[in-house]
Amino acid sequence: MAELTQKDRQEAAAFNGTRKLIRPHLPPQDRRRGTDPLHADDPLTHALAEPHSITESSHAEAFYFQKQIQMQTEMMVVLDDGDELRGIIEWYDKCVVKLRVGRQRVLVYKSGIKYLFKASEAQQHSSVMK
């Protein structure tokens, strides 16, 4: 009985209070047992991936969009095919911009936008834009 107590004391002394998460390195096909296509990717694979280069950003785009949203500035959005949308930016994320055009809401992919500007500037410089 004294042997168990001594062993317990040694284990307690060896444990310093912090625990380390240990993930086994499994081949990709063995990482997830299910065949559900929605959960085919392991959500923690990014932790195992090699660190890739971090691009520097000035966050100017985010600042510009936030300012226009707060001021509810009417914007002119020119798409790649030449179509123009005139509306107020309600929301944006990495890939899309949500505009309120009249009573409608339009979701526009950023990759489809040629350029955008304040609608008030279009009236001032209409000869330049043609």
> DSSP readout, the chain?
-HHHHHHHHHHHHH--S----------HHHH-----GGG-S-TTHHHHSPPPPPPP---HHHHHHHHHHHHT-EEEEEETTS-EEEEEEEEE-SSEEEEEETTEEEEEEGGGEEEEEEHHHHHHTHHHH-
Q: What is the pLDDT along the chain (130 residues), one digit of tens a residue?
A: 555 677 676 666 665 666 666 777 777 766 655 555 555 555 555 555 555 556 667 888 899 999 999 999 999 999 999 999 999 999 999 999 999 998 999 999 999 999 999 998 876 655 555 5
Going along the chain from its start, the domains and CATH numbers come out as: 2-48 (no CATH), 60-129 (2.30.30.100)
Give the strand order in the sheet containing 104-109: 104-109, 96-101, 84-92, 74-79, 113-118
Q: Given this model, what pLDDT does residue 17 score?
A: 63
Q: Given this model, what pLDDT does residue 26 score?
A: 72
Q: Given this model, what pLDDT does residue 122 score?
A: 76
Q: What is the pTM of this model?
A: 0.52
